[in-house]
Structure 1
Amino acid sequence: MIRPTPVLRMQATRALRSGAHPDPKAGKYIGGWGDFGGQKQKGIITYALSANQQRPLAGTMHAAVFNVARRTAHQILYWLPPLLLGYTLMAWATERNEYLNSKPGRAEFADEE
């Protein structure tokens, strides 16, 4: 005989059903998201500076020079050898092309065409 398996239902706690979430440490409702329901804070002082009085570019030139120098020193071994190799290869190819298209180059390789 096959017995039907019982259906287990998970029920939310009373605090969850009421919409109030308890504080896991203190066991009290602390309020919804962004509204923690506690007493208002006292003694908090906020200072602000007008946008006209700020110096957003203060020290950028000084920092930029040293930042570029530092980053170049750390990266130079990644880009300088390929750059030198490419320059050398291009100089050789240009010189070889000029020779092959000159009178002596044509005379030397005329029979190969």
Structure 2
Amino acid sequence: MRVSAPVNAGMPSGKTWSGWWGDMKGPKQKGIYVYSVSPFAQKPMKGALNGYLFWGVRRIAQQVPYFAPPFLIGYWVYSWGKDKYAYYNSKEGHHAMAMAEGGHH
């Protein structure tokens, strides 16, 4: 394998068919207009936080009826299970289970 020659590196010379980065050496085109806004005139984040404080909070408040009940039910089931587990692993819980099974104490 041969290392590429430094002559082939860099900008293309006159032997290439296509120009360098959009300079195609073809006829000038007419009737194409391009409009743009300077990057210095753009403010992409202007009003983002200010707009969120009102509209974002309002949007979240409208969605509360859809996500709050499942969350609250899930939390209630979790806390109930945790309390029940702690009770069954306590001395009182062991005694209650033994009595329910007809055991002696």
TM-score of the two chains, using structure 1 as the length reference: 0.53
State the alpha-carbon separation in 2 of the partners of residues 90 and 107 from structure 1: 24
- Residue 66 of structure 1 corresponds to which residue in structure 2? 54
Q: 1:107 aligns with which of 63, 79, 95?
A: 95
How many residue pairs end up in the alignment? 71
| Structure 2 partner of 1:28 | none
Question: What is the CA distance between 1:52 and its match in structure 2?
Answer: 2.3
1:94 and 2:82 aligned: yes
Identity of aligned residues (%): 35
Deviation at 1:46, TM superposition (A): 7.6
Give the alignment's TM-score, normalised by structure 2. Answer: 0.57
Q: Report the Cα distance in structure 1 between the residues aligned to 2:59 and 2:86, rounded to whole angstroms.
A: 39
Distance in 2 of aligned mates of 1:52 and 1:90: 54
Aligned structure 1 segments of 4 or more residues deviating by more than 2 angstroms: 45-49, 110-113
Report the 3-state secondary structure (helix = DSSP H, G, I; strand = E; otherwise coil) of the residue aligned with 2:58: helix
User: Unpaired segments of 5 or more residues in structure 1?
Assistant: 1-39
Point out where structure 2 has 5 or more consecutive residues left out of the alignment: 1-29
Q: Which amino acid aligns with 2:47?
A: G
Report the alpha carbon displacement of residue 47 of structure 1 after superposing the two structures with TM: 6.0
Q: Deviations over 1:17-39 (max 9, x none)?
A: xxxxxxxxxxxxxxxxxxxxxxx
- Give 1:1-113 correspondences, 5 Å limit: 48-110=36-98, 112=101
* SS of residue paired to 1:109: helix
Q: What RMSD over aligned residues (CA atoms) do the two structures have, in Å?
A: 2.4
The CA distance in 2 between the partners of 1:46 and 1:96, in whole Å, is 70
After superposition, what is the alpha-carbon deviation per residue over 1:23-62, rounded to whole angstroms, capped at 9, x for unaligned? xxxxxxxxxxxxxxxxx98xxx986431122111000001
Name which one, 1 or 2, has greater alpha-carbon Rg: 1
Q: Secondary structure at the match of 2:45?
A: coil
